[in-house]
A and B are shown apart, each in its own frame.
Chain A
C-alpha cells in the first residue's frame, strides 16, 4: 500500500511538473493568442467560448498569459536554486572540510541568515536592487544559500574521516580534488532532493514577490502579477485570480510531491515517515 501510494504521489507530481514545463516550452504553439495582445472590446470576458479561461481588464487572453507566465516561474526557480546550490553547497562543503573555528563561524553566519524570514529578506533585496529577472534570481538564491550550506556540510563532516579521503590524500591529490571529485558525488542525492523541495519554495517566493508588486515588470506575464491584477478586479472578475492561483498551486504541489517521493526513495530512515 505504501509503495503504491508513494509511487502514485511521485508519479502525479512528475505529471504536474511535466505539464507545466511543456506548457512553458510550447507556449508559442499552445497559446491561442499573443499574451500581451490587448483587445479592449473583449475585456473582462468570463471563461468559455472564444477565450477558454476568460480575459483580463485589458482584454488579454488569460490562458495564453498563464502559459507564458510558466516560463518566468520556471526560469527564476531553476536559476535561483542552481545558484543557491552552487554557492551554498560550496560554502558548506569547504566549511565542513576545513572544520574547527572557521567552520563554526561560517555556520553561525548561515544560522543568522536562516533565522531571517526568507520572504522579508527577498523583499528587501529586490526592493533595494530593483525588480527585474536577474535581481529576483539573486534575491531568491540569497534566501536559499544557508539551507544548502547546511545540507552540504553535514555529510562532509563524517565523509572526510573515511578511508577513501585519506587514500586520495596519500596518493597526492589536492584537497580541492578530494573534495570535489571524491566527496561531492556522495552528497548529490541529498542535494537533488532538497533542490526539488526548494524549487517549490522558490516558485512560491517569486509568485509572492510578484503579488506584492516586486516581480518582473509588466507587460511580461507572471502568475503572481496576474494574481495581483486579478485581485484588484476581484469583484467583477473572480476568474482572474482563480486561474493563476490554481497554476501556482499545481506547480508547487507537483514539485513538493516529487521532492517527497525522492526523499523517501533515497533515505530509508524516512521511508513512510
Chain B
C-alpha cells in the first residue's frame, strides 16, 4: 500500500508541472503589459519599467518560467500586489471555510446521490426511476447561483430558518454548522444530481453481471447482494465522477460563496479580479492547481481502496 501511494505521489509531479505550465501560459498570452494595465495608460515609462522589474517581467521568458515553476513547487506562491501580504497567508485564513463547504457538498451529494441512483437502477423505468431521472436532470440544469438565490429567498428571507450572512465563526461549532447548511445544500444538490446519474448507469451494468446472480443463488439476501456486491463494483465509475466533477464543484463554490457572502477561495479570486491584483490571481491559480492534483491523487488512492486489483497495476 505504501509503495502504491509513493508511486502515485511521484506520478503526480509531472501533472502538477503541466497544470502550472498552463497557468503560466494563460497569464502570459494575454495581450498587453500587466504593468500598463495596473498603472493605467498615462503611467511614465520609468514607472512601468520599475513595476516590470518588481514583478520579474523584465527577465527573459524562460527565466520567468523556471523561477515560477521552482517557486510554486517549493510552496512560494508570491505576494499580493495590493496588500503585499504573502498569498498563502490569505489563503490559509479562508481555506477552512472552503474545505467545510466542499466536503459538506460532497457528503450531501454522495448521501443523496448514491441511494437515489441505486434505487433508480433497481426500479428501472418505474415511477421511482422516472422521478429520480427527472429530478437529477433538473438538478444539474440549475446554475448554482440560481438555486442558491432561490434557497436563500425561501429558507433565509421567507421562513427565517437559516441565517442570511454566511461569515461563520470557526471557533463556534453551532454557528459554523448553521451557516454551512444552505451553501452546502446548494452545492450538494448539483453534486447529487451528477452522482445519481452515474450510480444509476453503473448499477444497471453491474446488475446484469454473473457474480450478482451467483451471490443470489448462494442464498445471500438480495438487499445485501445489491449494497455489498453490486455497489462495490459500481463504485469505481462513481468515484471517478466525484473526482472529475471536483473541478465543477470548485467553480460552483465561487458562485456559492458570492451568493451566501461566505469567505473562501472564490471570494478571494473575485476581489483579486476587481482590484486587478495579478500576482494574487496567479497565486490563487497555483493553489487551485495543487488542489486539483491532490484530488486526482485521492481519487487514485480510493480506486486502490475500492478495488484491490488497481494496486497491482
* A273 lies within 8 A of B143 (CB): no
In the complex, whether B27 has a CB less than 8 A from a CB of chain A is yes
* B142 lies within 8 A of A249 (CB): yes
In the complex, whether A245 has a CB less than 8 A from a CB of chain B is yes
Q: How far is the CB of A46 from chain B (nearest CB, A)?
A: 15
In the complex, whether B39 has a CB less than 8 A from a CB of chain A is no
CB < 8 Å neighbour of A115 from B19, B157, B255:
B19
Chain B interface residue number, banded: 35 or more
The interface stretch among B82-90, B147-155, B176-184, B211-219 is B147-155
In the complex, whether B141 has a CB less than 8 A from a CB of chain A is yes
Q: How far is the CB of B7 from chain A (nearest CB, A)?
A: 19
Specify which chain A residues have a CB less than 8 angstroms from the CB of B140 in the assembled complex.
256
* A273 lies within 8 A of B201 (CB): yes
* A241 lies within 8 A of B153 (CB): yes
In the complex, whether A238 has a CB less than 8 A from a CB of chain B is yes
CA–CA, A99 and B134, complex, Å: 40
Specify which chain B residues have a CB less than 8 angstroms from the CB of A123 in the assembled complex.
254, 269, 273
* A115 lies within 8 A of B259 (CB): no
CA–CA, A130 and B219, complex, Å: 65
CA–CA, A127 and B200, complex, Å: 39
CA–CA, A120 and B282, complex, Å: 12
In the complex, whether B296 has a CB less than 8 A from a CB of chain A is yes
Specify which chain A residues have a CB less than 8 angstroms from the CB of B149 in the assembled complex.
227, 230-231, 234, 241, 245
* A272 lies within 8 A of B157 (CB): no
* A256 lies within 8 A of B288 (CB): no
Specify which chain A residues have a CB less than 8 angstroms from the CB of B157 in the assembled complex.
234-235, 238
* B137 lies within 8 A of A260 (CB): yes
Contact pattern, B 187-202, Cβ under 8 Å of A = 1, otherwise 0:
0000000000000110
Specify which chain B residues have a CB less than 8 angstroms from the CB of A109 in the assembled complex.
18
Query: In the complex, what residue of chain A is closest to B291 when comparing beta carbons?
Result: A117
Query: In the complex, what residue of chain B is closest to A228 when comparing beta carbons?
Result: B145
In the complex, whether A118 has a CB less than 8 A from a CB of chain B is yes
In the complex, whether B125 has a CB less than 8 A from a CB of chain A is yes
* B143 lies within 8 A of A252 (CB): yes
CA–CA, A124 and B28, complex, Å: 12
Specify which chain A residues have a CB less than 8 angstroms from the CB of B26 in the assembled complex.
121, 124-125, 128
In the complex, whether B6 has a CB less than 8 A from a CB of chain A is no
* A248 lies within 8 A of B146 (CB): yes
In the complex, whether A204 has a CB less than 8 A from a CB of chain B is yes
CB < 8 Å neighbour of A117 from B138, B251, B273:
B251
In the complex, whether B95 has a CB less than 8 A from a CB of chain A is no
* A253 lies within 8 A of B137 (CB): yes
In the complex, whether B258 has a CB less than 8 A from a CB of chain A is yes
CB < 8 Å neighbour of A231 from B21, B259, B269:
B259
The interface stretch among A52-60, A64-72, A82-90, A206-214 is A206-214
* A113 lies within 8 A of B22 (CB): yes
Contact pattern, B 267-308, Cβ under 8 Å of A = 1, otherwise 0:
001100110000001000100110010001000000000000
Q: Can you name 16 extra interface pairs (CB under 8 A) apart from A120-B288, A207-B146?
A: A115-B247, A115-B296, A118-B248, A119-B248, A119-B251, A124-B26, A127-B281, A128-B27, A204-B141, A211-B143, A238-B157, A248-B143, A252-B141, A256-B137, A272-B124, A273-B200
What 5 A-B pairs have minimum CB-CB distances, sorted nearest first? A119-B251, A253-B141, A245-B146, A117-B247, A128-B30
- What are some 9 contacts across the A-B interface (CB < 8 A)? A1-B125, A119-B248, A124-B285, A125-B26, A127-B273, A128-B30, A234-B153, A238-B157, A245-B150
